[in-house]
Amino acid sequence: MARSSIRKSPTLDIDGLLDKFESFLQKKTLKLTSQRRQILEKILEMDKTHFTADDLVDQFRDQRPRVSKATVYRSLSVMVEAGIVEEHQFGDSHKVYELSEGRQHHDHLICTACSKIFEFFNADMEKLQDKVAASHGFHATHHSQKIFGICADCWAKGNR
C-alpha cells in the first residue's frame, strides 16, 4: 500500500550535500553563493517532501535581504542538473521537486482533485517494468511511475 510520505533520511548530512553542490558548481565555474546555500538549507528544513518552486519562494517571505523568485527558480534548475533535486511533471504545468539525495527510489500517486502526492514502492511492479524493458531489448536506466486519480479523502467527500 502507499505510504503517504517517506521522510528524509535522518542521516542526510547537509555538509555532504553542500560539498556535492559546490563541486558541481565549480565545474560550471559557478560559486556556492550564500543565496544558493540558503536555498539548499531551506529545502532540507521544509516539512514538505514534494514542493513547488513557489513553495520554496514562500520560505523566503519574511527574510531580509530578500532572495528573489528568479534566484530561487534558477538555483532549483541548477540543483536538478547537479542531481541533488529531482523534478517531476505531475500534470499540466504542475512541476514538483523533491530532494533525491539520500532517498530511496519510489513512485507516485497523484490526486487530481487536491493535488496531494503519495509515494509508493512495489517490488513486483519494479520487476515487471524491468521485464517489459528487457522484452524490448531495452536497457532501462530509470523510470518515473505516475498514477493519477482521486485520493481516499477526496473520494469520501465526493470531490472528483
Residues contributing to the site for Zn ion (CB under 5 A): 98, 111, 113-114, 116, 119, 151, 154
CB of 45 to Zn ion, least distance (A): 18
- Which parts of the chain are beta strand (E)? 85-89, 95-99, 107-111, 117-120, 146-149
How far is residue 3's CA from residue 19's CA, in Å, rounded to a whole number?
31
Which CB sits closer to Zn ion, 25 or 80?
80
Which CB sits closer to Zn ion, 138 or 155?
155
Helices (H) and strands (E) counted in the chain, each on its own, are: 6, 5
Interstrand relation of 95-99 and 117-120 (parallel, antiparallel or unpaired): unpaired
Which CB sits closer to Zn ion, 114 or 140?
114
CB of 121 to Zn ion, least distance (A): 10
CB of 119 to Zn ion, least distance (A): 5
Interstrand relation of 107-111 and 146-149 (parallel, antiparallel or unpaired): parallel
CB of 69 to Zn ion, least distance (A): 24
Return the C-alpha cell found at 91.
500534470
- Assign 154 to helix, strand or coil: helix
Which CB sits closer to Zn ion, 18 or 154?
154
